Amino acid sequence: MTLSTTAPRDAKESSKEVLEAEALLASEHGGEDGSRLTTDVKDSVIGAQIATSGTWTVGARVISRIIDLITMVMLAHILHPKDFGLIAIAMTVIYIVEAALELPVSQALIRLSVIQPAHYNTAFTLGLIRGLLLSVIVCLVSWPFARFYGDMHLVPLVCALSIAPASRGMVSPRLADFSKNFNFVPDFTMEFFGKLAAFFTAISLALLTHSYWAVAAGTLVAPVTSTLISYILAPYRPRLSLAELPSFSGFLGWITAAQIVGSINWQADRLMLGKLTSRSALGLFTAANDTSNVPLAALLTPIMRPLLSAFTVLRPDPPRLARSYQTSAGAIITLALPILVGESLIADPFVRLVFGQKWMGSALYLRWLALSLIPTLFAAPLGALVMAFGKTNIFFKRNLFEISIKLPLVVIGALRFGFMGVIVARSISEVATVCFCMVIVRRLLGISIGKQLFTAWRSIISVAVMAGVLFAILPFCTRSTETFGLAIGTLFAIFVACIAYGATLFTLWFAVGVPHGIEAIAALKLKSLLRIRDHAPTEVIS
């Protein structure tokens, strides 16, 4: 039996949980109280569904990022920074063309109330057209691109790398069935086995060839493997058809326009740095940039699909949707903020331990790149919210606003101050863009900017305490010049910092009366694990 048979069962069980909880609370409280508690139960069940599905998707992404990090670390010890620099330059053209041709057909399918076979066929056909067009465009521009950077090794490298994004867009369209039912086990399976295949391929080739092609091979194998597995988990017989194109065109039009602007925005700095700096220097910056992005890639990207499903369900009820958005935003900040701050503070011992002495030049970049990502957290769920409302023109407006600020700053920063100038330009544009996003949230949900900023005030205070503790003890814990002593000291400092953060967070939560939020969800999960029955759940989650 394939996993595709579990989606209807999960939906049925979720509905059963809602009905049973409603009946129980209505019988216990009756009347208006019962009606009020019914809404609370629905909110808590949807929250539980988000948490469960989010656990799978975040778990998959965390595991895949751990595999990515292990792969990168092992390759860093086998290869040289200049090899990573060459791959970074090659990937810029891939990223730009892929982003410009991005077709989020899966999200479009999730928004449909009923998905017909014709919708699947249209989604597959769009993915196929997009993949072929992407590969052709990339191959056509590979030669002038290589001439611009003065390295003809880029021609075959860029052409080969185009297979990766083409295959990513051709996953089985029937995976949308799982997403609509908050079932993300297939995503976990695809992610895990794809990354595992990439790991073995890249390391094997690196040991045999000591060539940058090992990195390229790993980049190719992961999406190809994941796509093949998607048809095992969500069986679908491909058929070419554009019969339901109108169901996608309005949704995809603004997305495409936004991605064209966004692709230039996201890769402008790397394009400039690839021309202005050496391959080795760019390799150091790329390693720091990729490492700093691990927490956001692991936490934010996978949680967007469960949030899209939840926001779509709650869209007819604005007050509940606003509460769900605030809870989601607060949870993301609570989870990601301490990781980014901690990543910044331990940059030096981390690079020394993980990458080795020849990569120490990337420690400074990692410290500031991690901090530059913090503003993103304060409007992280906006993408899922915009998709749920179907107002995808907002993506275009946001990206246009961001590029108008970031591009001139990046040009000035790169030309005058190099890598640090680019990091400062990123930081300024991120702050401006998150302010723009908060205005959008206020218009869509009526949540004030002040409320959005301070939705996770407990996390902000807790991170300040954690940073103070880590800053104080880290110099004493990382004095050792031996690898083992340095590793033990760094891990001890991280452990103490985590204790400080968790203790402060839950102390503040109790002090304000255990309100609904990620702390409440964590407390309920802990009670469940300890098999402690809570006879008054609304005291925590209402």
What distance, in Å, lies between the first and last C-alpha atoms of the chain? 40
Please enumerate in sequence order all residues whose Cβ is within 8 A of that of 481, keeping only pairs 6 or more positions apart, or say none.
none
pLDDT for residue 464 is more than 90: yes
Inter-residue contact 194 to 229 (CB < 8 Å): yes
pLDDT digits (tens, 9 = 90+) for 407-416: 888 888 888 8
The secondary element (H helix, E strand) that includes residue 306 is helix 294-314
Split at pLDDT 50, 70, 90, the class of 364 is very high
Residues 6+ apart with CB under 8 A from 288: 362, 363, 365, 366, 369
Residue 24 pLDDT: 32
What average pLDDT does the segment 304-333 reach?
85
The answer to whether the beta carbons of residues 326 and 446 sit under 8 Å apart is: no
Residue 92 lies in a domain: yes
Length of the chain: 542
The Cα-based distances of 219 to 61, 156, 229 in angstroms read: 16, 14, 17
Phi, psi of 169 (to 5 degrees): -85, 0
Judge whether 16 lies within some domain. Answer: yes
pLDDT at 474 over 90: yes
State the pTM of this model.
0.68
484 located within any domain: no
What is the rounded CA–CA span in Å between residue 256 and residue 268? 18
What token pair was written down for 400? 């246009």
Is the CB of residue 265 less than 8 Å from the CB of residue 406?
yes
- Of 51, 517, 58, the closest CA to residue 299 belongs to 58
**Would 252 be classed as within a structural domain?**
yes
List the one residue out of 541, 537, 532, 533 whose CA is nearest residue 514: 541
> pLDDT higher for 190 or 108?
190
pLDDT at 41: 45
pLDDT in tens, 192-238: 899 899 999 999 999 998 888 998 998 899 889 999 998 998 888 88
Exposed/middle/buried for 10, CB within 10 Å: 0-12, 13-18, 19+?
middle
In a domain, 337, yes or no: yes
Cα-Cα-Cα-Cα dihedral of 284, 290, 292, 294, to 10°?
-150
**pLDDT tens across 406-441, in order?**
888 888 888 888 889 989 999 999 999 999 999 999
Give mean pLDDT, residues 10-33. 35
Q: Is residue 206 part of a domain?
A: yes
Q: Which residues contact 371 (CB under 8 A, 6 or more apart)?
A: 340, 341, 344, 427
Q: Is the pLDDT of residue 521 over 50?
A: yes
Instruction: Give the mean pLDDT of 110-132.
Output: 83
On average, the pLDDT of the chain sits at: 79
Contact 518, 331 (CB under 8 A): yes
Tokens of 116: 């017909």
> In whole angstroms, what is the distance from residue 464 CA to residue 52 CA?
29
Given the structure tokens 């110099």, which residue do they identify? 475
CB atoms closer than 10 angstroms to residue 473: 16
Alpha-carbon dihedral angle through residues 153, 158, 160, 161, given to the nearest 10 degrees: 130
Q: Rounded to whole angstroms, how far apart are CA atoms 222 and 217?
A: 9
pLDDT score for 495: 95
Confidence check: pLDDT of 389 > 50: yes
Residue 92's closest CA among 343, 273, 217? 273
Q: How far apart are CA 515 and CA 192, in angstroms?
A: 36
Report d(CA 306, CA 110) in Å as an integer: 10
Please, what sign has the CA dihedral across residues 398, 260, 332, 108? positive
**CB 343 within 8 Å of CB 370:** yes
Element (DSSP H or E) covering residue 370: helix 363-372
Q: What angle, 0 to 180 degrees and rounded to 10, lies between the N-to-C axes of helices 318-345 and 347-354?
A: 70
Vertex 513: Cα angle to 512 and 516 (nearest 5): 100
Token duo for residue 479: 């004095």
Mean of pLDDT values over 329-337: 91
Number of structural domains found in the chain? 1
Q: Is the pLDDT of residue 23 over 60?
A: no
Tell whether the model's pLDDT for residue 537 goes beyond 70: no
For residue 403, pLDDT over 80 is answered with yes
* Those residues with Cβ within 8 angstroms of residue 443's Cβ, 6 or more apart along the chain or in another chain: none
Model confidence at 272: pLDDT above 70:
yes
Please check whether residue 260 lies inside any domain of the structure.
yes
Mean pLDDT across 517-532: 74
Domain containing residue 15: 3-455
Question: Which pLDDT score is estimated for 234?
Answer: 87
- Select from 144, 287, 145, 146 the least CA-distant residue to 215: 287
Please report where in the chains the tokens 């595999």 appear, as a residue. 67
Q: Please state, in angstroms and rounded to a whole number, the distance separating the CA atoms of residues 102 and 266.
A: 14
- In a domain? residue 427: yes
* Weakest-pLDDT range from 111-120, 438-447, 465-474: 111-120
Tokens of 467: 């940073």
Q: Around Cβ 318, how many Cβ atoms within 10 Å?
A: 12
